[in-house]
Amino acid sequence: MSKFEITNHSFTASINQILEKHFGEYANDVFEASPLLGYLNNKTKSANRGSKARGAFANHYALYVVIEDYLEKGFLDGKANIPYSKYEGARFSDLFRRQRELPFGAKLQNHGLNARLNDEFKKFYPTVGKPPIVRDVESQRYWFQEDLLLVQIRQKNGKDVTYNIAEVVIEIIDVYVATKRAAFEGFLEACRKIAELGKENPEHATEFVIQQLMPNVDARVFEIVSYAVLKARYGQQTVWIGDAKESVSEEALILYKTGRTNANDGGIDFVMKPLGRFFQVTETIDVSKYFLDIDKVQRFPITFVVKSDETAQQIRSAIRVQAIAKYKIEAVVETYMKAIEEIINVKDLIEAFSEVVKSGNLQEVMDEIVIQSKVEFNYSDEEESEVENV
């Protein structure tokens, strides 16, 4: 009976819980004796990292659908009347369809079933020598490696017993998926609310937007909402610009988002045309963060959108105090301070927003928030209904 090492991470506790429910005092023995559980443990590291973590479902679902077929066809409870080794196998199309029905699985490919799960398992456990998924390319039938489901451990009385972990694997993946979904739900709920509120109940909508600008909301929500508000606000303002004095024309200020919030860590968040202003959304007034970002653009002036209730003056002087502590030399501090073009705090955002509402452009802000939210989470309307249905 060989033992496999278990690397602990935040989701490991959830796996332990499930194992204890099924195997009581032998939970840990089962865990250590099963490379399949070890593999799952390894593949669930991202579970509690929140919605910022990239989704990982392909190989999990490959496991899931084949084992689900094993259970449904009655090979665990004996209803199948034949041993698994005599089973004709699951059809690719059925497995493929099933994995796409699962939450977040709508766009999964065949890779997990065909190669990637087996390859990765082999990489993690090169000595096991048994691929989790067994298939016959010619007949296009799929089986699970039953040996990996049967876990033998020695009880305290010296007897060897074999446990089948098929149901446990399904349960672990279910909990993993539920955890991943929970991370998305709060935010999605907010987005749906916004979409509905805008048209039917402008007053509530206004209230809602203001709530999303409070210092305690999620950083991504804050960035999206502040973008939507500022874009609408600047869109109402114009400048006169042209090649020569005689040929100037009036142009509206347009604010662009330079990338997805999550994919743009440390980068510049918004850019304004035609004035070429840079905007950086930030939560902290930690001086090193400001100056780090300023360094990136060689002290090009930046407007900071700060998730803070303090006034622009307060923020600016707080930064100055920190800057002096860090750089000592007054002249250096001055050049850095000059690079802070403007500070927009929560109060400024709310003011900008009420200007927008006053001029009847509330819906514009609402729509922008919904669009940006969907981009943020790779959400198309199709998928949205997909998830709702589950």
Partner DNA sequence: TCACCATAGCTTATTCTATC
Partner DNA sequence: GATAGAATAAGCTATGGTGA
Q: Which residues bind DNA (CB under 7 A)?
A: 43, 46, 49, 52-59, 91-93, 96, 104, 107-111, 113-116, 120, 123, 135, 137, 140, 260, 262-263, 266, 288, 292, 295
Secondary structure element (H or E) that encloses residue 370, with its range? helix 362-376
Q: How far is the CB of 210 from DNA (least distance, A)?
A: 29
What is the C-alpha to C-alpha distance for residues 165 and 178, in angstroms, rounded to an integer?
A: 20
Q: How far is the CB of 302 from DNA (least distance, A)?
A: 16
Residue closer to DNA by CB (options 127, 237) is: 127
Sign of the dihedral through C-alpha 294, 300, 305, 310: positive
Q: How far is the CB of 268 from DNA (least distance, A)?
A: 14
In the DSSP assignment, the letter for residue 285 is -
Residue closer to DNA by CB (options 89, 198) is: 89
Q: How far is the CB of 96 from DNA (least distance, A)?
A: 6
Using alpha carbons, select from 232, 140, 238, 179 the residue that is nearest to residue 10: 179
Burial of 200 (0-12, 13-18, 19+ CB in 10 A): exposed
Residue closer to DNA by CB (options 185, 295) is: 295
* Radius of gyration for the chain, computed over Cα atoms and rounded to the nearest angstrom: 28
Residue closer to DNA by CB (options 24, 266) is: 266
Q: What are the tokens at 71?
A: 């259970």
Residue closer to DNA by CB (options 188, 365) is: 188
Q: How far is the CB of 299 from DNA (least distance, A)?
A: 14
Residue closer to DNA by CB (options 177, 205) is: 177
Q: Report the relative pairing of strands 90-91 and 340-344 from DSSP bridges.
A: unpaired
What is the C-alpha to C-alpha distance for residues 366 and 209, in angstroms, rounded to an integer?
A: 8
The helix/strand/coil state of 67 is helix
Q: How far is the CB of 98 from DNA (least distance, A)?
A: 12
What is the C-alpha to C-alpha distance for residues 300 and 288, in angstroms, rounded to an integer?
A: 16
Q: How far is the CB of 296 from DNA (least distance, A)?
A: 8
Residue closer to DNA by CB (options 123, 328) is: 123
Q: How far is the CB of 187 from DNA (least distance, A)?
A: 15
Residue closer to DNA by CB (options 137, 244) is: 137
Q: How far is the CB of 95 from DNA (least distance, A)?
A: 9
Residue closer to DNA by CB (options 122, 193) is: 122
Burial of 146 (0-12, 13-18, 19+ CB in 10 A): middle
Side-chain half-sphere CA neighbours of 102 within 13 A: 27
| Three-class secondary structure assignment of 144-204 | ECHHHHEEEEECCCCCEEEEECHHHHHHHHHHHHHHHHHHHHHHHHHHHHHHHHHHHCHHH
Q: What are phi and psi of 249, to 5 degrees?
A: -135, 160
